[in-house]
Amino acid sequence: MPEIRAVCFDLFHTLVDVAAVPDEVGRFTADVLGVDRARWNRVCFSDLHEIRRPTVHGEVIEALARALLADVSAADIAQATWERQRRFDYALTYIEAETIDTLQRLRAAGLRLALVSNASTGEVAAWSRSPLAPCFDAAVFSCACGYAKPEPEIYQLAAEQLGVDVNGCVFVGDGGSDEHEGAARAGMYPILLTRYVGSRLPAEEMARRRGHALGEISHVTELIDLVRTLPVERERA
């Protein structure tokens, strides 16, 4: 097996948690629109949410809102767009120090780092001013590259931008969008990070996500020790 030379990370629910953004920054979009949060999440993760090309955030929110509320007002759409933008910008701007420290230590150990994220344009508008950005050698967003997880092309593109073989990459994420299954098919070593989703998702959903991962950590700081053992574990496998 190739030596581990790079780590690819999911972004949302892995390195940042939009759900934990304070309400005074911006309310949940579902709450602004007056719809059930589970219904909003379903439509947000459906094909109605355009994530494979550049978009205007307000147009995205309007399309998703009208899929749930035919009579939603322009004022509510504008308010929902504004508050949602503030939540995502905040999540990308205020990063825990231990997350930054872990990424820096991985790079200091000689590993290349890439971000591989499914996102519409507005969701990652603050990336350039995020403290995370300088920690990565490459950032691959679905809205910019035209591919989305679990499609193998988005993982392969990340490896190409890092200049490493895809088989020498670890992929770390919360398991949404079947990202671990896609990472494994592309040739990466998938690791499940449970910190933000472990207590929120039903047990059966967590079991499904574990079924596609070859390793599991509860916090990003655990990755440093885990990565050191992976070449040995892969050889034994």
Taking the complete model, does pTM exceed 0.85, yes or no?
Answer: yes
The values of phi and psi at residue 228, to 5°, are: -65, -30
pLDDT at 231: 60
pLDDT at 81: 98
pLDDT 10s digits, 81-114: 999 999 999 999 999 999 999 999 999 999 999 9
Task: Please tell me the distance from the alpha carbon of residue 210 to that of residue 160, in angstroms, as a whole number.
Answer: 27
Contact yes or no for 119/15 (Cβ under 8 A): no
pLDDT at 118: 98
- Best CA proximity match to 16, nearest among 105, 109, 119: 119
| Cα angle value 25/29/34 (rounded, 5°) | 120
pLDDT at 148: 98
pLDDT at 236: 39
pLDDT at 229: 84
Of the CA atoms within 13 Å of residue 40, those in its CB half-sphere come to 16
Ranges of residues in the chain with a pLDDT under 50 are 232-237
pLDDT at 115: 98
pLDDT at 235: 43
